Structure 1
Amino acid sequence: MKNFLKNPWTIGIGTAILSVILMRILDKIADTKLLFGLWTIIKKIILFFDKKYVVSLWFLILISFSAFLIVVLYFYLKSLFSNEKENINDPFFLNYTSDNFDGVLYKWRYFKNYDKYSSTDYMAYCPKDNCILLHNRCSICGTYFTNIHDNSKLAVLIGHKIENNLFQK
């Protein structure tokens, strides 16, 4: 019985029937014509839309074009505001894209897969010159780095700093 009373169809049809019954009771008690007046208004609305109108072709084209422009404008404005909302809801760590691990500067970016972000595209840099390391060596100062981490270890280190909020904001 509870499911029947919570059903949207039951609620919709039940309220319509109850409102008609209450209007009939009010008509009897207060000696008014609410239901008759409502029925007259509905008839006038139906008669208004039943009339025949003569409309020129240019007016129909103008109306169609205006409706199309309104729809395009609506979706354009919606996309503008939805992009702002997405940027507001972005996680706080997306600006954390570089860090120094064991004397080597690493830079990366994030990839969004559904609702989760993953760090990707790790690149090792010389911390002195901010130059990409080629074969573990800086092209500018010639420093050789022996402690370059692989991608899986970098993902763990970055994830640890994000989870524990240990990175510079």
Structure 2
Amino acid sequence: MKKWAKNPWVLGIGTTVIGGVLLSLLLDWIQGIDWLSTFKNVMRFIFNGVVSFLNFEIKVWWLLIAIAIIVVGLFVVAKISGSQSNNIPPTFLQYTKDYMLGYSWEWTYSKMYDGKYTISNLHPVCTKCGMRLKQGGLYGTEMECLRCNTTQNWEDSVEYDAQLLIEDNIRKNYSQNQ
């Protein structure tokens, strides 16, 4: 069965209309009246209602006020629904630490002008003490911890690769929750 047919509103209104039509036909048959008389009366009532509505004299200023009220109402609804959705921070903002490519990484997020977030302040940290690593050594090929004096080899592309992995983790693990 179609999804709309399972809707409780459709079921309630549909059964009421169908039941009313069947009951009307049954009563017309019992009373010996032409069984389409009720249908004719209902159609005549609807036709007269539409004709009366179309012949109703309306002033232009009534129409302008009605349009203004509708526009203001839609604006208020849009602001309320927009402010409610903007107050809820995305869940991926809690994801700020990970271990990948042989380093522990920490980062923050910055909100851009268009409302999207970007990874900022991405840096490796010491796996022993958690201090931010300093790039050093000959030609900047090592990362060293100033607190516990551990060093690790460093390649220039590691930071970019880590950012790509972080973005992929966010896309896979958090995009379905948004």
- Shorter-chain TM band: 0.3 to 0.5
How does the TM-score come out when normalised to structure 2? 0.43
